[in-house]
Structure formats: C-alpha cells, structure tokens
Amino acid sequence: MATTVDKPADLEQRDDHLRRTAHSGNGGGRDLVPADGSLRAVQDHSPAASTGIWVGLTAISMTFAALTSALVVRKGASTDWQHFTLPSVLYLDTCILLGSSVTLELSRRYFARSLAGLRAGLADSARWLYLTLLMGVVFVSGQYVAWLQLRHQGLYLSTNPSSSFFYVLTAAHALHVLGGLGGLVLVTYRLSRSRLRRSTLDIASRYWHFMDVLWIYLFLLLWFKM
C-alpha cells in the first residue's frame, strides 16, 4: 500500500483537471450552473436521459434476443413447425416505418434550423412530425391488418408454434411502437407550446429509429424462419 501526496490545493485548477480527466458520463465534472446563469442551456444538456435511452434500448434488445433464442430452440425442438407466407401488408408496413424514420429526421433537421433562428423551421418541423405520427399509426394499423390476414389463412395464436411466435413478436414490437408514438405525441405537444428541448427530440428520435431497426431485424427473422 503506497502513500502518496495528494495535491488538491487550487480548486479552479483541480476542476479543469477533473473536466479533462473525467472517465465517462458526467461524473467528475458536472456543472450545475454555467457562468452566464442560463438555465435553459443546463437543462437542455441532459446526459442522464441520453444514457437512459441507451439503457432502455439495451433492455428491449435483451427481451427480443430472448424471444429470438426461444424461437430458434422451439423450432428445432420438434417437427411440428409449419411454414407459411408472411402477410403481404407487411412489405408495405415496412416501407411505411422506414419512411417514418426519414420524416422524423426531416423534422429534427427543421427543428435545428428553428433553434438557429429561422422561424419557418418550427412550422416545417411540426409538419414532418405530424406526418411521422400518422405513419406510426398507419404502421400499427397495418400490423393489425397483418393479423387479420393471418386469421383469414386459418392461422391463430395457438395454431402452430410458427404462428404463435409471429403473433408474439409482432405484438411485442407493436406495443413498443405504441410507446414510441406516446413519446412522439408528447414531443408534438411540447413543440406546439414552444417548450420542446432539442435533447427530448433527439432521444425520441433515437427510440423511434431503434424501433425501425428492430422491425427490420424481426422482419428478416420472420422471413427466414416462417
């Protein structure tokens, strides 16, 4: 056990050092109040929410990884796996969800412009956001149509393990998309009241894009396994 001399003499100097050497997150260098006293700037810098969304997405990834491994094991466990054609509406739905990511990015871009002082940016941002919301609703409705198409084929939740997994995976994803829609409604409300922070929009976008990527993954999984 070595004994060394700690030199914390100069607070200012030490703070600079801490800022430079902070290993991660905000620890070791958190500024509560900037020099100009602008609270908005502080509040908009929300590393916890940014970290939090990644943590949340990790949990969601684990859930779908568990369901994927369950699908693989169940498919190999027996010869009763029945292959079926994916409902055609899923192709359209996939395009709509991908498109909604594009419209959300456009909204984000216009919002950034509005922050830069361009008044028109805010209205454009809202317009693209409404379109994103609409596409999200259409996507979830499309999933419902897919379930109806499957029922029409005589494939219900308990008909076969393949249909069971189809319903479980698509329903789990749709529930998460509904959660994302709730977040976007909040973002839209705040935008309409001019109370939207950029970080909030960024975090909502990150979640939405993740839902997009997750759906592509699930779609490919279903495509290959069904």
Partner 1 sequence: MHDTSAHAVHQHAAPTSFIRKYVFSLDHKVIGKQYYGLALLAVLTGMVLSWLMRLHLGWTDLKIPGLHLLSASGAPGDVMTPEYYLQLMTMHGTIMVFFVLTTAPFAAFGNYFLPIQVGAEDMPFPRFNMMSFWVTFTAFLVLISSFFFGDGPTLAGWTQYAPLSAVGAVAGPGQGTGEVLWASSIAIFCVGQLLGSLNFITTTLDMRTKGMSLWRLPLTAWGWFITSVMGLTAFAVLMPACILLILDHVAGTSFFVASNLVLNDQLQPHSGGSTLLWQHLFWFFGHPEVYIAIVPGMGVVSHILVANMRRPMLSHRVIVYSMGALAVLSYMVYGHHMFVSGMNPFSSLVFSFPTLVITIPSTILVLIWIGSLYGSKLRINTASLFALGFISMFISGGVSGFFLAQPSIDIMLHATYFVVGHFHLVMAVAAIFGIFAGTYFWYPKVTGRMMNETLGKIHFWLTFVGAYCIFMPFHYLGIAGNVRRYQAFVDDYLVRLIPLHRFITVAALCTGAVQLIFLYNLFYSRFRGEEAPLNPWQATSLEWSTPSSPPPFDNFGGRHVVVYHDPYQYGIEGSTDDYVMQDSPAQIQSVRDEK
Q: Which residues bind partner 1 (CB under 8 A)?
A: 1-9, 11, 14-15, 18, 21-33, 39, 42-43, 47-49, 51-52, 55-56, 58-60, 62-63, 65-67, 69-70, 73-74, 77-81, 157-158, 161, 164, 168, 172
Query: Which of 27, 6, 25, 28 is closest to 17 using CA atoms?
Result: 28
Nearest-approach distance from CB 64 to partner 1, in angstroms:
8
> Which residue type, as a one-letter code, is found at position 115?
L
State in angstroms the smallest separation of the CB of 42 from partner 1.
Answer: 6
Residue nearer to partner 1 on the CB measure, 22 or 118: 22
Token pair, residue 59, equals 């949990």
Residues 6+ apart with CB under 8 A from 172: 63, 64, 67
Nearer to partner 1, 15 or 123 (CB): 15
Which amino acid type is present at position 205? Answer: S
C-alpha Rg value of the chain to the nearest Å: 23
Judged by CB, which is closer to partner 1: 26, or 153? 26
Between 69 and 153, CB nearer to partner 1: 69
Minimum distance between the CB of residue 166 and partner 1, rounded to whole angstroms? 11
Shortest distance (Å) from residue 104 CB to partner 1: 23
188 neighbors 126 (Cβ within 8 angstroms): yes
Query: Would you list the DSSP string of 137-184?
Result: HHHHHHHHHHHHHHHHTT--TTT-HHHHHHHHHHHHHHHHHHHHHHHH
CB of 183 to partner 1, least distance (A): 14
Cβ proximity to partner 1: between 138 and 168 the closer is: 168
